[in-house]
A = this chain, B = another copy of it.
Amino acid sequence: MIKAIFLIQAEDKKGLLASTVDFFYSKGFNILHCQQHTDSYERRFFMRIELDASDMKTTRKALEDEFRALADDLGLDWSLHWSDYRMRVAILVSKTSHCLYDLISRQLEGELQCEIPLIISNHPDMEKVANQFRIPYYYFPVGDDKAKQEGKIRDLLKRFDIDLVVLARYMQILSPEFTDEWKGKIINIHHAFLPAFQGANPYLRAYNRGVKMIGATAHYASEDLDQGPIIEQDVVRVNHELTPTGLKEVGKDCERRVLASAVKAHLEHRIIIYSNKTIVFSVER
């Protein structure tokens, strides 16, 4: 079945739901799933609607144009996605393999519906993993000129028609130019339960503070380090028996799970960003 998925947000007002639902019904679509949320605190309307587009009477272009007319009337901010398009994901890594292995194996098992046409790194270490899965590996050391190194990466992303960049423990801060250009399209995993322990060495700092749980946070990258919209978080219980090294090892499972879950939500068009926060819709599976 081919599905069309609309993600919609707007300032809340009466009739948004009825008008939208009515539009799709009048076009003869079967609505598979409709999720609506109104943030009464921010007075904002959010909706995800999933249509059966298997036997569409019109072209995709025509549907898009007709919906645009309605959206302009109602003041909707929206995007349209088709289930038969597989997004193209670039993975950026540094020296650790746990998130990389996890993402690739989930893609191979069909859990993550996407292509992974390349892996990019500032270190040579992960080339062996890329080779095991026959994924092209690009190694760009940072060196003296960081802007130049970043330029090479950004060129490559364009050349490979990349839709989503996943920082799977890529230990370099991105420039504002990079995060601006790819706004809402870079997912980072931070190895702490943000906003606790922003910045470097979170596990050592967690040890020193004596916390009883450690966590991981997946978020969209933004100009301000570790400040972008949070997509997913999870924690794991720890105790006095764990040294900083032990915390790091225990934390890996959390990182894997949280990053994979955030990437999956993005690939399934379940995320709307608003006001530096995310609405993450659940889906029937």
Contact = CB atoms under 8 A, between A and B. Distances in A.
B98 A240 contact: no
Copies of this chain, complex-wide, total 4
A240 B132 contact: no
Given A213-B235, A249-B285, A105 B101 contact: yes
A128 to B, nearest CB: 9
A73 interface: no
Interface string A35-50: 1111111000010000
Interface in A7-42: 14-15, 17-18, 21-22, 24-25, 30-41
Interface residues of A, number: 74
Given A97-B109, A101-B105, A133-B132, A195 B210 contact: no
Contacts of A15: 25
Contact of A285 (B34, B195, B245, B282): B245
A194 B106 CA distance: 26
Nearest to A250: B285
Contacts of A105: 97-98, 101-102, 105
B210 A194 contact: no
A277 interface: yes
A134 to B, nearest CB: 9
Interface of A: 14-15, 17-18, 21-22, 24-25, 30-41, 46, 96-98, 101-102, 105-106, 108-109, 111, 132-133, 193-197, 207, 209-213, 215, 229-235, 239-246, 249-250, 252-253, 257, 276-280, 282-285
